[in-house]
Amino acid sequence: MTGPSLTLLPHDPILDLDAGIGQRSCTFRFQLINGVTGQHLGDITPIRAASLVHDTTRTIKRQLMLPLGVEDTAAINAITDRVLLFMVMADGTQYPLGRYMFTDVSRLLTSAGRLGAMSLNDEMFLVDQELTTGINGFGKAVIDVIQEATFGLPVTLRTEPSPFSSTEAWGIGIGRGQVLESLSVSGDYFSPWFDNNGDLRFIRTFDPIDKVADLDFDTGFKVYREQILETDDLLTAPNRFVVISNSATDPDQVTVGTADVPTNAPHSIQNRGFVIAKTIDLQIATALQAQAVAQGLANRQTVFERVSLNTAPDPRHDSYNVIRWQGDLWLELAWSMALTEGGSMGHLLRKGYS
């Protein structure tokens, strides 16, 4: 067994399940607060195992499922209340796992009273409502339009810099999530998400092969040996991405950006001997931006080789983490967690190529 490798997230002998760690103890805390006033209302306790899912392909990335008993069901005001989720270790360390609002409430009538089956989403549900005022982003910096689209919302916005401009506008009635998704493409961002701290995040696209891994699955004993599933889209996956747009200054000119998958990818043009192209028509300001967006789309949308595997719950996972697994670097696309110690955490990873 090799020692810990260099990772961006600090090595933790308990969470990384180093040799000699025969067991660990933790629990999950569900803190109820008033989402309007911030008042803490105490903790609630699911009567059975709750679950949390994070999926980067969705506009609203996280969904929390809570089965609740009679007292907790009666205590909740689904309109105003929020749930803060934490993983609590045996030494008292609390790891945040996001902030959630009620979006679907069912109550089962029993002889003991009403039992709740609660579905909660992260606060992208709050963000992704219809615009009541149009947004004209033409000629403005993408980051400025993102700030305009989220202005006045009770969220904390964290964005990485982007040099690109928007050439789009959106009218009343368009969902704000659609606007932000479009801006993330124009600005060369991954799809935005609410992170473990409850902040709305925009990070620039990247290829995992160019990064230092956040977490190393090759050291310690994190990965369960059973239920490791490898899949791929190699037979049909595009190996060239083309972004086209009319010029922002001359409608008769066409702006084009092209990005090919790495040559060592098994479905690359060099290996297949022919091109499988995916063409996207967008509103893009310059050829440089079109080129960056084409490369960004290759990084964020295409799935070449995937692996699904299970580990013990680990609260350090957030979104777009880079994972070292079997000597390669992988981008984490989704994870799910059973919110009980002894439960498992599932991961969906996409392989990176140099």
Q: Report domain extents, the chain.
A: 127-202, 234-301
Q: How many of the other CB atoms lie within 10 Å of CB of 147?
A: 13
Query: What does pLDDT average to in each consecutive run of 10 residues of the chain (354 residues)?
Result: 73 83 83 93 90 96 94 92 95 94 88 87 96 93 96 96 92 95 92 97 91 92 86 83 72 74 81 88 77 73 78 94 94 94 90 76
What's the pLDDT at 263? 80
Q: Topology of domain 127-202, per CATH? A: Phage tail protein beta-alpha-beta fold (3.55.50)
Distance CA 226, CA 329 (A): 21
The answer to whether the CB of 80 falls within 8 A of the CB of 29 is no
Residues 6+ apart with CB under 8 A from 108: 114, 115, 116, 117
What's the pLDDT at 1? 45
Strand partners, 240: 260, 277
Q: Which amino acid is at 321?
A: N
What's the pLDDT at 154? 93
What's the pLDDT at 247? 59
What's the pLDDT at 4? 59
What's the pLDDT at 305? 83
What's the pLDDT at 95? 96
- Tell me the pTM: 0.84
242: its two tokens: 């083309």
3-state helix, strand, coil in the chain (%, to 5): 15, 40, 45
Identify the residue whose tokens are 């499922």: 65
- What are the DSSP calls for 87-151, one per residue? EEETTS-EEEEEEEEEEEEEEEEETTEEEEEEEEEETHHHHSSB-SS-EE-TTSBHHHHHHHHHT
- What are the DSSP calls for 4-41, one per residue? PPP-SSPP-TTTTT-TT-----EEEEEEEEETTT--EE
Q: Which amino acid is at 280?
A: I
Distance CA 52, CA 65 (A): 6
Residues making up the chain, counted from first to last: 354
Reported as a single tens digit per residue, the pLDDT across 70-81 is 999 999 999 999
Sign of the C-alpha dihedral computed for residues 66, 331, 351 and 257 taken in this order:
positive
Distance CA 257, CA 293 (A): 8
Cα 207 to Cα 212, 233, 270, 305, 316: the distances in Å are 11, 18, 20, 14, 20
Distance CA 151, CA 146 (A): 8
**Element of type H or E holding 296:** helix 287-301
Instruction: For residue 287, report the phi and psi dihedrals to the nearest 5 degrees.
Output: -65, -35
